[in-house]
Amino acid sequence: GDDLAARSGLLPGVGGTRFVRACLRRPVDRTPVWFLRQAGRYMPEYQAVRRHHTLLEICRDPKLAAEVTITAAEKLDVDAAIIFADLLLPFDCMGLDFEFLAGEGPVIHKPVRTAEDVMRLRTDRASELGYVAEAIAKVVAHFKDRLGIIGFCGAPFTLASYMIEGGGSRNYIETKKLMYRQPDVWRRLLDKLATVLREYAAQQVEAGADVIQIFDSWAGALSVEDYRDFVLPVTKTLVREVQAMGVPVIYFGVDTASLLPAMRETGADVLGLDWRTPLDVAWRTLDYSCAVQGNLDPITLFAEPELIRTRVRQILTQAEGRAGHIFNLGHGIVPGTPVENVQHVVRFVREFAAEAKRG
């Protein structure tokens, strides 16, 4: 409400970047646009940095992380910059070793499976994550108020799934086994994660992040009932705590069509939408009670510009010019995506806004 607006430096109806205004469902001159995974392997400038550094080296070096963040946002001319980091960074300070194996994604060598494993996890060393906040401060110093700066963290469920499975998963069998069979251990694990994530988010807000995005990328693996019983309470608390720091929260997941009303109960200001549900249908399901971000299929970026243009227009038409739409993909840009097609999307979003004004 207005309390949040005041705390984020936004007087009702006045000021703020286009992106932050849209998060708060304030009117904007045109729909803001940015891209999930906008800095990454599809971009030659990132590949050049990556030739000399590992992913984790880039994440842990504020100068490099800021540079990669800034380069991508400027090259794409988007309305928001998301800090270059990774979901799994907090594992380090919790005492969980992991690495990224080429072509395989993240690997956690000793997955969390028992009450003892959960007990061993540390929650008192979040200050070790300060390099992410340092990178944010550099990005804020660079852009000033020209665009929105997004900090992020994983959601308790999605991070727990990596901890328990030891990496990505198809069926989440170990995760759900722990959740169903040892619900008190499950709750302790999610509480520990939330403790660290709260402090990590606070560092990012302190450093100048305008918005925090919470990635619950794999929440779509849950039934509505399991989501409500095992995930919603701790997530809702985290969302409220981050909002109390004075910034809007974007809560994101994939394959979440049936979960959206329950995800809305977290109280997040913005929900991420994937492409499997038309934006108008999803937003109506939510009674337009929050802002929405999405929802172009990232693989559309491999199509000819004319088809991309058509899909962008369809999404903007479905949004009906309502306050509270942030244009984005339904999930991250994948390696191999032609950069010029991402730039086309930015142009198409602006072109349509100009037309809508004229028309």
Q: Which of 98, 215, 275, 352 binds ligand CP3 (CB under 6 A)?
A: 215
Smallest separation, CB 5 to ligand CP3 (Å): 26
Tell me if residue 188 is catalytic. Answer: no
Which residue among the candidates 18, 26, 60, 162 is catalytic per the annotation?
162
Site for ligand CP3 in 90-109 (CB under 6 A): 100, 105-106
Is 358 a known active-site residue? no
Residue number with the smallest Cβ distance to ligand CP3: 217
Task: Tell me which residue has tokens 């910059």.
Answer: 81
Smallest gap, in angstroms, from Cβ of residue 169 to ligand CP3? 11
Q: In sequence order, what E strands does the chain have?
A: 80-82, 98-101, 105-108, 148-154, 211-215, 249-252, 270-272, 291-296, 325-329
Residue from 28, 39, 108, 268 that binds ligand CP3 (CB under 6 A)?
39
User: Angle CA(128)–CA(217)–CA(296) in degrees, nearest 5?
Assistant: 125
- CB of 301 closer than 8 Å to CB of 323: no
**C-alpha span between 223 and 201 (Å, rounded):** 28
Q: Could you confirm whether 184 is annotated as catalytic?
A: no
How far is the C-alpha of 31 from the C-alpha of 228, rounded, in Å?
32
Catalytic annotation on 60? no
Amino acid at 26: R
Tell whether 331 is in a known binding site.
yes
Q: Could you say which residues in the range 123-152 bind ligand CP3, by CB under 6 A?
A: 152
User: How many residues in the shown chain lie near ligand CP3 by CB under 6 A?
Assistant: 22
Phi, psi of 223 (to 5 degrees): -70, 160
From 8, 22, 33, 40, residue interacting with ligand CP3 (rule: CB under 6 A): 40
* Spatial separation of the C-alpha atoms in residues 245 and 59, rounded to whole Å: 24
Gap between the Cα atoms of 317 and 279, Å rounded:
10
Provide, rounded to whole angstroms, the least separation between the CB of residue 85 and ligand CP3: 6
Annotated binding site for substrate: 37-41, 86, 162, 217, 331
**Residues with active-site annotation:** 37, 41, 50, 86, 162
List residues near ligand CP3 by CB under 6 A.
36-41, 50, 55, 82, 84, 86-88, 100, 105-106, 152, 168, 215, 217, 331-332
